[in-house]
Structure 1
Amino acid sequence: MNKKIILASKSPRRQELLRLMDIDFRIVLKEVDESYPEGLTPEQIAVYIATKKAEAFDEEVGDEVVLTADTIVAINGQILGKPETPAHAVEMLRTLSGSMHKVVTGVCLLHKGKYTSFYDVSEVHFRELPDAEIKDYVDRYKPMDKAGSYGIQERIGLIGIERINGSYTNVVGLPTEKLYRELIILR
Structure 2
Amino acid sequence: MLILASSSKIRASLLQNEGIEFQQMSFDYDESLKKDIKPHLYVQKIVLEKERQFCIKNDLKNETLLFADSVVSIRGQILTKAKNDEEALKMLLMQSQNEVSVLSAFLLQSPLKRVFSLSKTTLFLAQFDEEDMKQYIQSKLYLNKAGALMCEGFHQKYILKQNGSLNTALGLDTQTLKAYL
Q: TM-score surpassing 0.5? A: yes
**Structure 1: gaps (5+ residues):** none
Q: CA deviation at 1:23?
A: 1.1
Whole-angstrom CA distance in 2 between matches of 1:44 and 1:18: 25
1:182 matches 2:180 = yes
Q: TM-score, normalised by structure 2?
A: 0.91
* Structure 2 residue aligned with 1:133: 132
Q: How far does the alpha carbon of each residue in 1:53-112 deviate from its partner, in whole angstroms, 9 at most, with x for none?
A: 122226611432110101000001211111010121111111000000110001011212
Amino acid at match of 1:175: D
* Structure 2 residue aligned with 1:172: 170
1:35 matches 2:32 = yes
> May I ask how many residue pairs the two structures share in their alignment?
179
Q: CA deviation at 1:39?
A: 4.3
Whether the 8 Å contact between 1:54 and 1:109 is mirrored in structure 2 is no
* Structure 2 residue aligned with 1:95: 94
Distance 1:39 1:141, change over 3 A: closer
Q: TM-score, normalised by structure 1?
A: 0.88
Distance 1:123 1:39, change over 3 A: same
Q: Percent identity between the aligned chains?
A: 27
Aligned-pair RMSD on alpha carbons? 1.8
**Structure 2: gaps (5+ residues):** none
* Structure 1 residue aligned with 2:147: 148
Whole-angstrom CA distance in 1 between matches of 2:135 and 2:34: 35
* Structure 1 residue aligned with 2:121: 122
Amino acid at match of 1:94: L
* Structure 2 residue aligned with 1:17: 14
Q: CA deviation at 1:114?
A: 5.2
Whether the 8 Å contact between 2:7 and 2:27 is mirrored in structure 1 is no
Of the structure 1 ranges 50-59 and 18-27, higher mean CA displacement relative to structure 2 is found in 50-59
* Structure 1 residue aligned with 2:69: 70
Distance 1:85 1:160, change over 3 A: same
Distance 1:38 1:171, change over 3 A: closer
Distance 1:37 1:182, change over 3 A: farther
Amino acid at match of 1:159: K
Whether the 8 Å contact between 1:70 and 1:105 is mirrored in structure 2 is yes
Amino acid at match of 1:149: A
Q: CA deviation at 1:30?
A: 2.6
